[in-house]
Every structure is written in C-alpha cells, then in structure tokens.
Amino acid sequence: MSEDNLQDEKVQTLLKNQGVYNGLISVGIIYSLFFTHNYHNSLLAIMIYIILVALYGSFSSGNKSIFFKQGTLAVIVAILLLIS
C-alpha cells in the first residue's frame, strides 16, 4: 500500500476492523482453552466461523487465494478437532 492509501480514513477504518476481528478471535481461543471444560466444541465453533469468514472474503473480493491465506489453518485445526 502506498502512503496515500494508508492516510485514507476508510482504509484506516478497515485496518482497525481487521485488528478488532483478530483480537476477538484470539480472546475466544484463549477463553475456550483456559476457561471452558469442553474446549473442543468452543474451538470448533471458532474455527468454523473463521472458515466462513475466509470463504466470504474470498468470494466477495473475487480473490480465491484469500481463503487459503485466512482459512487453511482453521481447516486443519477443525479437522484435528473432529478426529480427536
């Protein structure tokens, strides 16, 4: 991104929203690992959410690589949770 793009108020809002999204995902994962008795279900729900968001981003932008960049790890974790 250029310096001009980074100064754009809309781009700054998008970056802040991405930060909030990532922060809430991490809080959910930490909470499910340390404060729930059945963390498998909580983690699986979070992983499915991440997969759905990755699919939405991929299709809404027309850039299929977004799914692989954002969703691959969540798919792996979801599979591991389902087989354990």
Chain Cα centroid distance, residue 42: 15
Residues shown for the chain: 84
Digit-coded pLDDT (tens) for 43-77: 999 999 999 998 988 888 888 988 998 899 999 99
- Rounded to two decimals, what is the model's pTM? 0.75
Q: pLDDT: is 12 or 73 the higher one?
A: 73
pLDDT number for residue 68: 92
**Rounded Cα distance, 25 and 28, in Å:** 5
Q: Which helix (H) or strand (E) holds 36?
A: none
Answer yes or no: is pLDDT of 1 > 80: no
